[in-house]
């Protein structure tokens, strides 16, 4: 994606067009910036990043580069650096790197391959392949990379800890997941309150979703919980039911030794008092997302039909 288009996209009218390819080969049908992790940047992520004086950030999963752009702008401001991992980004990485000279290191690889190559960071944003195997091992690698030292362990944000991927795996590249950890899956959509995939429609029908929600070793939140239970470190884990779910993971030692961080976390706990309200808001928003995605599919189908008719017309005229 051209870089100017990124700022347009943030305003809501410069998104990928139907027909632009994304990494999994599926067709990008629309503008999605309103549902990305970066929507939580100002209110939730930034205050915590500032509280830990986070300058060096690792982003796992960049997609269109919207969050990457915000992170690099932040790095410029604080004289920091962003390491970004994505095996299949949908923007021109070289152009991006040239524009943000020196502030961004991009690793066109999977997280499990790349994490060990990255220098120490203060903050990690996990938003790559949303399945148990990947997230569980990402967290383990991050901990090992910090020498299992609670004070060195970065502040970790994990996106997609709520519905639909909190308790259900998604596979960007199913072949990359060892068979024993891969649930049966299909490219079908998901509906609220439905453990099985929908025969038609539903959310993210163009993604490889596990056939059944729930059970062992299934989903992002399950991965975080399993990791926490098995780790020798103590954690504070706050799971905000906002925008597909944002989990905040901090080692207890780090939290106890940083009053500014503790105060920010306290504010977020206060926000959770209104959890019921937030949950209702999220349900409404997901309903809207379903409607928007259905309209996008219909629009893409109409566009394809128009192009087909135009070709036929051109042939008739030519003949």
Ligand X SMILES: C[S@@+](CC[C@H](N)C(=O)[O-])C[C@H]1O[C@@H](n2cnc3c(N)ncnc32)[C@H](O)[C@@H]1O
Closer CB to ligand X, 107 or 235, in the complex: 107
Cα separation, 202 vs 145, in Å, equals: 39
Cα separation, 144 vs 220, in Å, equals: 20
Q: Which two tokens stand for residue 311?
A: 């070709």
Distances (CA, A) of 171 to 18, 131, 161: 22, 6, 15
- Counting contacts by CB under 6 A, is residue 161 touching ligand X? no
Which of 67, 146, 188, 222 forms a contact with ligand X (CB under 6 A)?
67
225: DSSP letter: H
In sequence order, the 6+-apart residues with CB closer than 8 A to the CB of 147 are none
Closer CB to ligand X, 111 or 239, in the complex: 111
Sheet strand arrangement including 246-251: 104-107, 81-85, 56-60, 123-126, 155-159, 246-251, 235-240
- Counting contacts by CB under 6 A, is residue 57 touching ligand X? no
- Counting contacts by CB under 6 A, is residue 162 touching ligand X? no
Which of 6, 52, 60, 118 forms a contact with ligand X (CB under 6 A)?
60
In the complex, the smallest distance separating the C-beta of residue 202 from ligand X, rounded to whole angstroms, is 18
Phi-psi category of 67—alpha, beta or left, where left has phi over 0 and alpha has psi -120 to 50?
A: alpha
- Counting contacts by CB under 6 A, is residue 169 touching ligand X? no
In the complex, the smallest distance separating the C-beta of residue 65 from ligand X, rounded to whole angstroms, is 7
Give the range of 58-66, 144-152, 267-275, 282-290 binding ligand X by CB under 6 A: 58-66
Residues in the chain: 319
Closer CB to ligand X, 33 or 253, in the complex: 33
- Counting contacts by CB under 6 A, is residue 87 touching ligand X? yes
- Counting contacts by CB under 6 A, is residue 52 touching ligand X? no
Closer CB to ligand X, 37 or 261, in the complex: 37
- Counting contacts by CB under 6 A, is residue 85 touching ligand X? yes
State the DSSP string of 41-65.
IIIIIHHHHHHTT--EEEEE--TTS
Q: Which two tokens stand for residue 158?
A: 């994990």
Closer CB to ligand X, 88 or 233, in the complex: 88
- Counting contacts by CB under 6 A, is residue 164 touching ligand X? no
In the complex, the smallest distance separating the C-beta of residue 315 from ligand X, rounded to whole angstroms, is 38
Pairing assessment for the beta strands 235-240 and 246-251 based on DSSP bridges: antiparallel
Give the range of 57-65, 143-151, 184-192, 306-314 binding ligand X by CB under 6 A: 57-65
Query: Which parts of this chain interact with ligand X (CB under 6 A)?
Result: 23, 36-38, 60-63, 66-67, 85-88, 110-111, 127-129, 134, 172
């Amino acid at each position: 994606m051209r870089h100017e288009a990124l700022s347009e996209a943030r305003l809501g009218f410069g998104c990928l067009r139907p027909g632009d390819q994304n990494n999994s080969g599926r067709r990008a049908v629309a503008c999605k910036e309103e549902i990305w992790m970066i929507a939580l940047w100002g209110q939730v992520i930034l205050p915590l990043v500032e509280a830990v004086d986070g300058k060096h950030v690792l982003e796992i999963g960049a997609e269109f580069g919207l969050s990457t752009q915000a992170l690099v702008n932040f790095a410029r401001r604080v004289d920091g650096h962003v390491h970004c991992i994505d095996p299949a980004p949908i923007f021109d990485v070289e152009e991006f790197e040239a524009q943000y000279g020196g502030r961004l290191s991009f690793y066109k690889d999977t997280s499990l391959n790349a994490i060990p190559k990255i220098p120490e960071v203060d903050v990690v944003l996990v938003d790559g392949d949303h399945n148990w195997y990947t997230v569980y091992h990402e967290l383990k690698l991050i901990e090992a990379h910090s020498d299992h030292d609670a004070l060195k362990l970065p502040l970790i944000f994990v996106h997609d800890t709520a519905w639909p991927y909190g308790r259900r795996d998604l596979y960007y590249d199913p072949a990359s997941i060892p068979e024993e950890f891969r649930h049966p899956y299909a490219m079908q959509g998901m509906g609220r309150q439905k453990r099985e995939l929908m025969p038609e429609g539903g959310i993210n029908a163009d993604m490889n979703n596990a056939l059944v929600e729930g059970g062992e070793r299934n989903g992002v939140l399950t991965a975080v919980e399993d990791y926490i239970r098995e780790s020798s470190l103590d954690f504070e884990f706050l799971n905000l039911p906002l925008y597909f779910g944002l989990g905040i993971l901090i080692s207890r030692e780090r939290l106890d030794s940083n009053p500014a961080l503790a105060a920010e976390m306290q504010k977020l706990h206060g926000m959770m008092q209104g959890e019921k309200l937030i949950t209702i808001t999220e349900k409404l928003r997901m309903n809207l997302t379903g409607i928007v995605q259905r309209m996008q599919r219909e629009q893409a189908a109409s566009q394809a039909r128009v192009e087909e008719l135009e070709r036929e017309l051109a042939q008739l005229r030519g003949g």
